[in-house]
Amino acid sequence: MSRYWSAVVRSLTPYVPGEQPKLADLVKLNTNENPYGPSPQVIEAIRSGTNETLRLYPDPQATALRESIAACHDLDPAQVFVGNGSDEVLAHAFLALLKHEAPILFPDISYSFYPVYARLYGIAFEEVPLTESFEIRVEDYFRPNGGIIFPNPNAPTGRLLALGEVERLLQANGDSVLVVDEAYIDFGGTSAVPLIQRYPQLLVIHTLSKSRALAGLRVGYALGNADLIAGLVRVKDSFNSYPLDRLALSGGIAAMQDRAWFDATRHKIIASREGLVVGLQALGFEVLPSAANFVFARHPRARGETLAARLRERHVLVRHFRAPARIADFLRITVGTEAQCAALLAALRDILAPGRALG
Ligand SMILES: *Cc1c(COP(=O)(O)O)cnc(C)c1O
């Protein structure tokens, strides 16, 4: 606390990202990074863009990147907004599209950045409880609101809401924006993007951080009706005209174009996830059905905090959330390479060995 801080800064509760430790021999399964790395074409594009042109500002409209994203999704570039990671795109969506009189709605167990943005921008919100089985029930959102936002698949549960349910919500909710955060949609879900043509209140957000293995490059985008996109552009141009640098633009274009790498790596991750689920279940874990690149699991005999600590002693990092209470015994485990998944299971087998004390 400094006496020079503004009242706004004093009131903030910032988001706490997963740990990025410097240790080399770590099995790092705590922040849903992609274990396979980006397409070699991305590296090549960044390398060939690393030259004296860096003295020039990048294209403030990111036209070429928006064109390649539009081509991937069969949309018009006017239906695409890009930002410095989807976190920035989300922040702009909160200010541009979700700040109204009525409170916005999102699940009680969801991406913990949403309440942070809502507080930052002074947006009232209500957290809608997931069902007992940690599912979104769309009827719970059939009420007046200033907007609705949730990840699909949800994070940190990994549970997917069927596309028909997303559409049912759109049919019942025409007067405010529905933001579907599809950070993990490429790992087995069906995207809501095709619904954009029929529902002008739908904004879908994607990131290159997970399925395109570019968390370090910071590229995310929103897809929606051109009017929604124009609202996001107004906020962006009141904040930072150049959120994506030249290298991010070049790398992002190459990532969108290398469909073969994208498909091969995400299918490997989906296959490893299925193996990981079986392995965890064999150790006695309850694992929620996941359509993401992570699983959410708890063990009937061990507290989440204890398991996370014991894994850490064995140099395996997973994510544990203390709150809300009903997920305190779950671990969120990123799907790594086959070798990383095997190392995780071996460590858990050791930790849970019969006769071992579990605090
Ligand atoms: C990872 C994640 C994001 C943010 O991704 P960036 O593009 O890296 O900022 C957004 N939403 C959810 C639900 C995520 O898990």
Is 80 exceeded by the pLDDT of residue 358? no
pLDDT band at 20 (very low <50, low <70, confident <90, very high): confident
Domain boundaries defined on the chain: 17-37+260-351, 40-257
Dist. CA 246 → ligand 1 center (Å): 21
- Inter-axis angle of helices 85-97 and 226-236, to 10 degrees? 100
pLDDT in tens, 59-98: 999 999 999 999 999 999 999 999 999 999 999 999 999 9
- Span 5-34, mean pLDDT? 89
- Span 36-48, mean pLDDT? 98
Is 80 exceeded by the pLDDT of residue 19? no
Strands 330-334 and 316-320: antiparallel
- Span 37-52, mean pLDDT? 98
Is 80 exceeded by the pLDDT of residue 275? yes
Instruction: Report residues whose beta carbon is within 6 angstroms of any ligand 1 atom.
Output: 85-87, 111, 151, 155, 181, 183, 207, 209, 215, 220
pLDDT band at 146 (very low <50, low <70, confident <90, very high): very high
pLDDT in tens, 232-249: 999 999 999 999 999 999
* pLDDT at position 16: 85
Q: Which one has a higher pLDDT value, 191 or 18?
A: 191
**Which spans in 159-241 are helix H?**
163-172, 226-236
Residue type, 171: Q
pLDDT band at 21 (very low <50, low <70, confident <90, very high): confident
pLDDT in tens, 153-207: 999 999 999 999 999 999 999 999 999 999 999 999 999 999 999 999 999 999 9
Is 80 exceeded by the pLDDT of residue 357? no
Q: Whose CA is nearest to atom 2 of ligand 1?
A: 183
Ligand 1, closest atom to CA 86?
Answer: 7
pLDDT band at 17 (very low <50, low <70, confident <90, very high): confident
Ligand 1, closest atom to CA 219?
Answer: 7
Q: Which one has a higher pLDDT value, 94 or 24?
A: 94
Dist. CA 354 → ligand 1 center (Å): 38
* pLDDT at position 359: 61
* CATH 2.40.50.180 applies to domain 17-37+260-351: no
Dist. CA 113 → ligand 1 center (Å): 9
Is 90 exceeded by the pLDDT of residue 25? no
* pLDDT at position 132: 97
Nearest 5°: the CA angle 65, 60, 64 is 20
Secondary-structure class of domain 40-257 per CATH: alpha beta
User: Do 217 and 252 meet the contact criterion of CB atoms below 8 Å apart?
Assistant: yes
Distances (CA, A) of 274 to 43, 210, 278: 30, 18, 6
Is 80 exceeded by the pLDDT of residue 23? no
Distance from the Cα of residue 192 to its chain's centroid = 15
3-state helix, strand, coil in the chain (%, to 5): 40, 15, 45
pLDDT band at 312 (very low <50, low <70, confident <90, very high): very high
Tell me the C-alpha distance between 157 and 184, whole Å: 11
- Span 11-28, mean pLDDT? 84
Q: Which one has a higher pLDDT value, 115 or 359?
A: 115
* pLDDT at position 246: 98
Ligand 1, closest atom to CA 215?
Answer: 8
Which of 15, 34, 84, 87 should be mutated for ligand 1, with most atoms under 8 A from CB? Answer: 87
* pLDDT at position 352: 95
* pLDDT at position 107: 98
